[in-house]
Amino acid sequence: MNVEVKFRRENPVFRASYKSNNQGKKRLTIQEILSRIQKQEFFEDEEYLKVRFKGKGGWTVAHEQARRHWKPENSLPKHILEMRTQSGWTVAHQMARAGLFTNDKEVLLLRDKSNNTVAHVQAGRGWITEDPEILRLADKSGWTVAHEQVEQGWITENKEVLKLRDKYGWTVAHRQARYGWTTNDKEILRLYNEDGWTVAHEQVRRGWITEDKEVLMLRDIYGWTVAHEQENLDG
């Protein structure tokens, strides 16, 4: 099935586009193609979008144009968005990095060889979703789209999302606490990473105070309690 995806850009930059018409004309060389791209004379013809640069790990004309903030005049077919470099980095990944966002799930789910999805890249540029399926997408380190959105200022109260953890045990709740978010929910406060460092520890380190004895007794694998952290803060 040929799926076409429309991208949107915040603060769009419109560029002149070059459309090739090769009937009866000599095919452009790689040097000529690159020269046009450098002049922001972008290609829309698939014949040129599919061209790969030698010695560049599978980098295509479409990747290079996306790197240079190309905004296609027409919707791109899915097989163009899915073109990959040797590392699995798709044209869609590169367009996301350039600030061109999509909400198409098929595209958001595309992964490179590190399991980094297009959704991760978009989230790293400030894009936000509340879709539970997308929020749970994780790369090889277990870092989810939800974790990435928190790094950009997003906050959630959804307990299932707050519990998402990377391979080191850092939860979405830990990350939110690092940026000043607090909760009194004991189930969330008890969440811990591989060192036993709880969300409660993290909240106290950021200035939160509790008198709950059960919470104060929470300790990491080194024996450092929330009470210790709170006393250290007071000191």
> What domains appear along the chain, each with residue ranges and CATH number?
156-235 (1.25.40.20)
> From CA 202, how far away is CA 206, in angstroms rounded?
7
Q: What is the pLDDT of residues 190-225, one digit of tens each?
A: 999 999 999 999 999 999 999 999 999 999 999 999
Tokens of 185: 């929910």
Q: Give the pLDDT confidence of 37-88 residue by residue, as tens digits.
A: 999 999 999 999 999 999 999 999 999 999 999 999 888 999 999 999 999 9
Tell me which long-range contacts 142-148 makes (C-beta under 8 A, separation of at least 24).
142/166, 142/167, 142/168, 144/172, 145/117, 145/119, 145/120, 146/172, 147/172, 147/175, 148/120, 148/123, 148/124
Q: CA angle, 6 as apex, 64 and 47 as ends, to 5°?
A: 45
For residues 113 and 87, the answer to whether their CB atoms sit within 8 Å is: yes
Between 82 and 10, the more confident residue is 82
Q: Look at the pTM and tell me if it is higher than 0.75.
A: yes
Enumerate the β-bridge partners of residue 101. Answer: 8
DSSP letters for 108-171? HT-B-TT--BHHHHHHHTT-----HHHHT-B-TT--BHHHHHHHTT-----HHHHT-B-TT--B
